[in-house]
Structure 1
Amino acid sequence: MLKQVWVLTSLFIIFIIFWRMPQQNIGLSSFANKSDLLGSPTSAQKYLNLITGVSILIYFIFAVRFNIP
């Protein structure tokens, strides 16, 4: 069960990193301006930074848990 959560967390981190890559007029800022789904680009960026940080922390906790005998 915990290994499944670990795998899902790692896939989620990969997804978030690829989603955040473009910083020009394409990607998140353009999407947020057109649809107003995520709010302003700065608040969406702060929210994604928080989610990414928490996900990385969870990933490291599981990595230590599963790799130390």
Structure 2
Amino acid sequence: MLKVLWLLLNIFLILIIFVRVPNNSGLSSFATKSNLLGSPNSAEKTLNKLTWSLIFGYFVLAIKFNLET
């Protein structure tokens, strides 16, 4: 069950990183085209928190799987 959760976390983390725009404007170009994530600042903050939470979860599960073997 944890391996399935880890796989889903990996896929979602890859997708969330691809959503980020690499230039300095961040998500402002995306947020001005659609009101899906609210203002560009709140969208950027939300994606930052989500990304760091997923990275933390990834490392916790990776350490757990490494200690099992």
Alignment TM-score, normalising by the size of structure 1:
0.85
> Gaps (5+ residues) in structure 1?
none
Aligned-CA RMSD value: 1.6
Gap regions ≥5 residues in structure 2 = none
- For residue 68 of structure 1, report the CA deviation from its aligned partner: 1.4
Find the aligned partners of 2:29 and 2:21 in 1 and give their Cα distance.
13
- 2:65 is aligned with what amino acid? F
Q: Which residue of 2 aligns with 1:50?
A: 49
Q: Which amino acid aligns with 1:9?
A: L
For the pair 1:67 / 2:55, whether they are aligned, the reply is no
Q: CA deviation at 1:24?
A: 5.5
Number of corresponding residues? 68
TM-score (norm 2): 0.85
Q: How does 1:22-61 map to 2 (within 5 A)?
A: 22-23=22-23, 28-61=27-60
Runs of 4+ aligned residues of structure 1 deviating over 3 Å after TM superposition are none
